[in-house]
Amino acid sequence: MATPLTPAVFHVLLALSAGDRHGYGIMKDVHAQSDGQVTLGPGTLYGTVQRLIEAGMVAEAPRSGPRTVDGRARRYYRITSKGRAALDADVSRLEQLMRVVRTLREAPRGSRG
């Protein structure tokens, strides 16, 4: 998966960069890190996680919390080195883009081509 990452992939990798999470934990982290602007439903979340597993960017982690919640098995996920490299590359791309934005905002209005 090359950069730029999709918003769902970016947010899932960002949530997992803080540590192993189960699906609901990822959803809560994404909602919090985006100030409520990004909400991943179960279909989007688990479809994204499955694609990331297939791409080698995420792996299922040993359970670090309860094995079941309300009788349902809980799976935990972790970012892999490949996933961290993809996240880091996209963060660098976004930082470069923000440098361009700041430069354009600071330029006098008449000098913008």
| Tens-place pLDDT, residues 41-78 | 999 999 999 999 999 999 999 866 666 667 677 899 99
Domain range spanning residue 47?
7-111
- Tokens standing for residue 83: 């996933």
pLDDT, mean over the chain = 90
| Tens-place pLDDT, residues 79-91 | 999 999 999 999 9
Residue 26 near residue 40, CB atoms below 8 Å? yes
CATH number at residue 18: 1.10.10.10
The reported pLDDT for the residue numbered 73 is: 76
Domain assignment present for residue 2? The answer is no
Residue 111 near residue 97, CB atoms below 8 Å? no
Give dist(CA 19, CA 37) in Å, integer: 22
The amino acid at residue 24 is Y
3-state DSSP assignment of residue 37: coil
The pLDDT-based confidence of 2 (bands split at 50, 70, 90) is low
Domain assignment present for residue 1? The answer is no
The reported pLDDT for the residue numbered 46 is: 95
**DSSP letter, residue 65:** S
What's the structural domain count of the chain? 1
Instruction: Indicate left, alpha or beta for 106 from its phi (over 0: left) and psi (-120 to 50: alpha).
Output: alpha
Domain assignment present for residue 107? The answer is yes
Domain assignment present for residue 29? The answer is yes
| For the chain, percent of residues with pLDDT exceeding 70 | 88
